[in-house]
């Protein structure tokens, strides 16, 4: 019998993190080059919100579950490689779009491709690390988010400023196709129970999760936090350009550096804190997540009141850390609720809520509110024009202030999750 190739957890985690980097480089490009896209194609903030949210999230969410079912039965490595190739090609096609409709179709294609990435990747990582180290490992995987945001913002901003927004999509989309080939050649599938021992049905996995109040509240908190977070990050670069009249390259670079640092620290610290405090406090994942989003709700409001770009950037770092502490704890609780052949489906169920509501509706809500408030502000700031730059900046700022209130709602669910985790521990000790 041939010897099965050795699985190297650190190599697998590192390469999958790079895939996550590409995932978020491509996903957030609309937010980075949204202002020149808006100017060239005559788009509204609502349409930008549709491109950054609903167009992507709808198909990402709908296809996430069936692809996850395949991942629980077949090669997760193959799914990651194929998904990466597809969304990278569709990102490049965004740069060739000549209208809002064509952009919408290409963004749908990006969502279809990215639907296979997270469930399969997180299932692979969860199988390679024990429960006591799982939240940390999943947080390290999620570091691809801030790294991708940093690279996408800096590279996308400067390419967009010097060569145009279309070149940014082409230059940052095409390398993913090469990476897909590397993934297929290098990664190996960890051993799981025999295929004959088929994965539980989707309904059974969903029922298992529905019976766990800790999961339900962590998922609700994460969904609300992602709603607020995606609404904020999707319009961060347009906000800076409108308020301070900065060039795209400088605005995007500043955003990328601040977001990369703050989000990276938040994601990394969240999993580490949950694992470390979890040795003493069973409700640690919920407490860590709740503390983070409350910090975000308070300090982001302070950041938005700053009247200079450097002050705004400095004031945003700590709330960005807090706003992303929930990632590791949420994924860790989800993975610990189910077995090996259920994890991809469980993650897909979690992401279905987070992305359908958070990513799908967060940017759209902020965009629609921004258009509404800008029209109202134009009456006072620039009567006779629709709307002027000052009104556009004022409308977006007001929309983001309302968006931040959702973080408080998220904190309530994280605290309820902490109580449920403590109750679970007491039940186990009583047996």
Domain map (residue ranges) of the chain: 9-188+199-430
- Burial level of 180, CB count in 10 A (0-12/13-18/19+)? buried
Dihedral, 283, 289, 294, 299 alpha carbons, nearest 10: 140
- 291 pLDDT band, cuts 50/70/90, is very high
Cα separation values, 358 from 49, 83, 361, Å: 12, 22, 6
Does residue 78 surpass a pLDDT of 70? yes
* 121-169 residue pLDDT tens: 888 888 888 877 777 787 788 788 888 888 998 999 999 999 999 999 9
Residues whose CB falls within 8 Å of the CB of residue 255, separated by 6 or more in sequence, listed in order = 32, 153, 157, 236, 237, 240
Q: Given pLDDT bands bounded at 50, 70 and 90, which one contains residue 257?
A: very high
Residue with tokens 């620290």: 265
Residue 1 is predicted with a pLDDT of: 40
The CATH superfamily of 9-188+199-430 is MFS general substrate transporter like domains (1.20.1250.20)
Better-scored residue on pLDDT, 399 or 191 = 399
- pLDDT for the residue 192: 65
When pLDDT is averaged across residues 83-100 and rounded to a whole number, the result is 93
The pair of three-digit structure tokens given for residue 76, joined into one six-digit string: 């997760």
**Predicted pLDDT at 213:** 92
Which residue in 226, 7, 231 sits closest to 118, CA to CA?
A: 226
| pLDDT value at residue 2 | 43
The predicted model gives 175-191 an average pLDDT of 89
- Hey, how many other C-beta atoms are within 10 angstroms of the C-beta on 168? 29
Distance (Å, rounded) from C-alpha 180 to C-alpha 108? 20
Q: Let me know if 401 is exposed, middle or buried by CB neighbors in 10 A (0-12, 13-18, 19+).
A: middle
| Closest to 81 measured CA to CA, from 117, 36, 29 | 117
Q: What is the mean pLDDT of residues 325-349?
A: 84
Instruction: Name the range with the highest mean pLDDT among 6-10, 145-149, 235-239, 268-272.
Output: 235-239
Span 4-56, pLDDT tens digits: 456 688 888 999 999 999 998 988 888 889 889 988 999 888 898 888 777 77
The more confident residue out of 404 and 381 is 404
Q: What is the mean pLDDT of residues 191-215?
A: 76
Range from 2-16, 37-51, 207-221, 253-267 carrying the lowest mean pLDDT: 2-16
Q: Are 325 and 292 in contact (CB under 8 A)?
A: yes
Confidence of residue 219 (pLDDT cuts 50, 70, 90): very high
pLDDT of residue 235: 92
Give the pTM: 0.78
Q: What is the pLDDT of residue 385?
A: 62
Whether the predicted pLDDT of 3 surpasses 50: no
Judge contact between 404 and 301, C-beta under 8 A: yes
Higher pLDDT: 7 or 260? It is 260
pLDDT at 268: 83
CA 211 distance to own-chain centroid = 26
């Amino acid at each position: 019998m041939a010897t099965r190739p050795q699985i190297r957890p650190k190599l697998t985690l590192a390469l999958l993190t790079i895939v996550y980097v590409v995932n978020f480089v491509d996903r957030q490009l609309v937010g980075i080059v949204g202002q020149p896209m808006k100017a060239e194609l005559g788009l509204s903030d609502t349409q930008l919100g549709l491109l950054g949210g609903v167009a992507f999230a709808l198909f990402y969410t709908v296809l996430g579950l069936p692809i996850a079912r395949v991942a629980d039965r077949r090669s997760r490595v193959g799914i990651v490689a194929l998904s990466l190739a597809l969304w990278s090609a569709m990102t490049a096609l965004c740069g060739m779009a000549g209208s809002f409709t064509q952009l919408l179709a290409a963004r749908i294609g990006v969502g279809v491709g990215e639907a296979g990435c997270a469930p399969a990747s997180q299932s692979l990582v969860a199988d390679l690390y024990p429960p006591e180290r799982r939240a940390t490992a999943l947080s390290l995987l999620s570091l691809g988010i801030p790294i991708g945001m940093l690279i996408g913002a800096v590279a996308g901003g400067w390419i967009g400023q010097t060569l145009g927004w279309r070149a940014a999509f082409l230059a940052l989309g095409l390398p993913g196709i090469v990476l897909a080939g590397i993934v297929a050649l290098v990664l190996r599938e960890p051993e799981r129970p025999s295929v004959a021992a088929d994965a539980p049905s989707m309904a059974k996995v969903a029922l298992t999760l529905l019976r766990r109040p800790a999961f339900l509240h962590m998922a609700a908190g994460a969904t609300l936090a992602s709603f607020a977070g995606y609404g904020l990050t999707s319009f961060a670069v347009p906000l800076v350009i409108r308020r301070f009249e900065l060039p795209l390259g400088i605005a995007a670079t500043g955003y990328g550096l601040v977001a990369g640092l703050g989000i990276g620290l938040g994601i990394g610290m969240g999993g580490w804190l949950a694992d470390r405090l979890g040795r003493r406090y069973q409700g640690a994942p919920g407490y860590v997540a709740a503390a983070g989003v409350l910090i975000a709700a308070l300090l982001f409001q302070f950041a938005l009141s700053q009247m200079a770009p450097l002050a705004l950037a400095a004031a945003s770092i700590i709330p960005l850390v807090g706003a992303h502490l929930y990632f590791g704890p949420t994924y860790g609780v989800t993975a610990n609720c189910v077995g090996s052949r259920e994890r991809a489906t469980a993650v897909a169920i979690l992401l279905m809520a987070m992305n359908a509501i958070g990513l799908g509706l967060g940017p759209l809500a902020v965009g629609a509110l921004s258009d509404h408030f800008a029209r109202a502000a134009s009456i006072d700031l620039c009567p006779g024009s629709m709307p002027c730059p000052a009104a556009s900046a004022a409308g977006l700022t007001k929309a983001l202030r309302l968006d931040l209130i959702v973080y408080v709602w998220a904190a309530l669910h994280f605290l309820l999750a902490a109580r449920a985790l403590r109750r679970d521990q007491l039940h186990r000790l009583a047996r």
